[in-house]
Amino acid sequence: MTSLLIFTFVMGYLAITLEHPLKLDKAVPALLMGTLMWGLLAIGFNQGWFSIVDSHGHIFQIDQPDTDAQLYGFKANLMHHFSSIGEILFFLIGAMTIVEIIDLHRGFGIIKKVIKPKSKVKLLWILGVLAFVLSAIIDNLTATIILITLLRKILVRHKYRVWYASMIIIAANAGGAWSPIGDVTTTMLWIGGKVTALGLSEYLIIPSLVCFVVPFFIATKLKPFKGKAMRKEMIIDEEAERLLSSKTMLYVGLAGIAFVPIFKGVTGLPPYLGMMFSLGVVWLVSEYVRPVKNLPKKQKHLYSTHKALSKIEFSSILFFLGILLSVAALESLVYGSIGGEEVGTLRYVAEKVSAAIPNMDVVVLLLGALSALIDNVPMVAATMGMYTFETDSPIWHFIAFSAGTGGSLLVIGSAAGVAAMGMEKIDFIWYLKKIAWLAAIGFISGALTFVFIEQFFYS
């Protein structure tokens, strides 16, 4: 049964990585994997085939005298994991809704006024800086989609746009790595108590900046970024031009998201409550702000938060649910003993990896490189179950950096890359030949910068 449970995880993981060839939404195998693994876990536990370990290291076995207590322990363990997962999911739902409200009022259309230079190099840097900053505030995926949408209104030739879109991926992933709300993985580490918002930003902003600046500086020497951009007239968003609420909702929305770490710092409450508070404020403002003068009642629904909620990609939320349930099942299954103590599967694997590769920096770098092939969400979720380092340990910071920026090595290695690939039809092999080396230089440069900071500045 243990082998069957692990086999289910491997096959589900494989189906997720083959999402595009299979033409199957990755939420499907993730949900099947997560629910099936807990089903197998329950059957095996009820039959007394294996034991369960909870987050406190308590072991539960069905063959012990107090059977009811053991069954309660199993269910309590499941509820503990589901509670932790729910915090992440509600946080993401709140953040996604705020972003959709801003977009509904064409708030992001204001950004296009910043993109004016005709020089290819200046255009590259402006897009890069915007991607780096925006991804830290609204997340790297959303920032990438917004900037590529604007890019398509600026450059005529597709052969030039793919270069800019690819560089946006690098900048967005680098920008998301140093912010607790910039990437799903950093959000998971933050909500999971592995890092603090201040600690993550303090120690990762410089490595992330290096990861962004170095490849961009090299790119300015390349032929595709020489000369003037072949611009077409900026397509006027008539809706954004006539809306009175664009600036208001942009500023209120971004301020609401940025306020979440402050809310946690002041109250000590979980981040999802801060995000729900911000969503309530943004929703309240959106109900009373005037999109246009004398808006007819029959058109009010066009700017309603209910419409924003309908645009959220709940398939992504369900994907995270399935993945995190699967990892929680592996974390709960007792697989072996370390030093005479029975431990869960992930902890067991972590101990074996540490014994084989004693340098954790090397291990984390390998995890970052693997995140280009395998989704970084389950990888980070697995490390959270594998290791027990203290909050704001340099290892957790390095994991956040590597998982976030390592995805830039391949176009399919991050959510931002997959989005750009779909929007601009970026060829996998083209990206591998033309961009991967730039991303690798940025990744290694940022990693070396982090190691330097770790050696001299971590207390």
Cβ neighbours of 49 (radius 10 Å): 12
Region 203-226 average pLDDT: 94
Chain centroid to Cα 413, Å, comes to 12
Mean pLDDT of the chain: 84
Helix intervals (H) in 139-194: 140-151, 158-177, 184-191
Q: What is the pLDDT of residue 109?
A: 75
SS3 for 294?
coil
Q: What is the pLDDT of residue 163?
A: 94
Plot region of 229 (φ>0 → left; ψ -120 to 50 → alpha; else → beta)? beta
- C-alpha count within 13 angstroms, C-beta hemisphere, residue 109: 21
> According to the per-residue pLDDT averaged within each range, which of 65-79, 168-182, 323-337, 421-435 is highest?
168-182
Place of tokens 């690798």: 440
Q: What is the pLDDT of residue 399?
A: 94
Q: What is the pLDDT of residue 204?
A: 95
Q: What is the pLDDT of residue 456?
A: 80
Question: What amino acid occupies position 76?
Answer: A
Of 254 and 214, the one with more pLDDT:
214
| Percent of the chain whose predicted confidence (pLDDT) is above 70 | 86
Whole-number Å distance between alpha carbons of 397 and 386: 15
Q: Is the pTM of this model over 0.85?
A: no
Whole-number Å distance between alpha carbons of 446 and 434: 20
Question: Which tokens belong to 412?
Answer: 């399919």
Region 113-140 average pLDDT: 86
Q: Is pLDDT above 80 for 285?
A: yes
The conformation of residue 181, written as its DSSP 8-state character, comes to T
Q: Is pLDDT above 90 for 212?
A: yes
Whole-number Å distance between alpha carbons of 36 and 322: 10
Residue 63 backbone phi and psi in degrees, to 5: -85, 5
Q: What is the pLDDT of residue 132?
A: 96
Q: Is pLDDT above 60 for 171?
A: yes
Cβ neighbours of 24 (radius 10 Å): 13
Question: What amino acid occupies position 324?
Answer: L
| 174: exposed, middle or buried (Cβ count in 10 Å: 0-12, 13-18, 19+) | buried
The conformation of residue 18, written as its DSSP 8-state character, comes to T
Q: What is the pLDDT of residue 233?
A: 47
Q: What is the pLDDT of residue 48?
A: 77
| 99: exposed, middle or buried (Cβ count in 10 Å: 0-12, 13-18, 19+) | buried
Whole-number Å distance between alpha carbons of 235 and 214: 32
Q: Is pLDDT above 70 for 238?
A: no
The conformation of residue 58, written as its DSSP 8-state character, comes to -
Q: Range with the lowest mean pLDDT among 241-245, 317-321, 391-395, 443-447? A: 241-245
Region 259-268 average pLDDT: 89
351 falls in which pLDDT band (50, 70, 90)?
A: confident
Q: Are 114 and 88 within 8 A, CB to CB?
A: no
The string of DSSP letters for 18-64 reads THHHHT--THHHHHHHHHHHHHHHHHHHHTTSS-EE-TT--EE-TTS
337 falls in which pLDDT band (50, 70, 90)?
A: low
Residue (of 277, 247, 245, 244) closest to 263 by Cα position: 277
Q: Is pLDDT above 90 for 451?
A: yes
